[in-house]
Amino acid sequence: MEGPYDKTVTFVAVDDLGEDITIPGSDRALPPDLAYLPGHTLGALLRAEREATAGALAQMGRMSCTLTLPNLTADSLGELFMFFQLATGYAGAWYGVDPFDQPGVELGKRLTYAALGRPGFELPATASAAVTDEI
């Protein structure tokens, strides 16, 4: 809520969570501040938190949006990831930045290529042991 008015918050909601979990209570001693939770589902708790946070942001004049996925399948998540990739490309164009030229991640890409044996990309001696030990 604090800080400059130059950001937006994006919430992700899911219509079909698949298996939802009921918050237990009778077999566990919950602190008094949490005594209202047993019997509710984790999905209901997350939905209430998202809606309350979005409402609080709106009351403070803060921008937000909610993207709603039908479910958590590979197709739905792939579409969400693609959406963010496209949004990054458009934002870069609007801000006059090439979002696909990222010198800050270039070393990581070169080390990944080298670690996986891509021709023309050899690990520098200082990074060789650390990278190959992790793989």
DSSP string, 2-55: -S-S--EEEEEEES--SS--BPP-TTS---GGGTT-TTSBHHHHHHHHHHHHHH
Asked whether the predicted pLDDT for residue 66 surpasses 90, the reply is: yes
pLDDT digit string, tens, across residues 69-128: 999 999 999 999 999 999 999 999 999 988 877 777 888 888 999 999 999 998 776 655
Three-state secondary-structure class, residue 109: helix
Provide long-range contacts, Cβ within 8 A and 24+ apart, for 103-111.
none
pTM given for the model:
0.69
Measured CA to CA, the distance from residue 38 to residue 23 in angstroms comes to 5
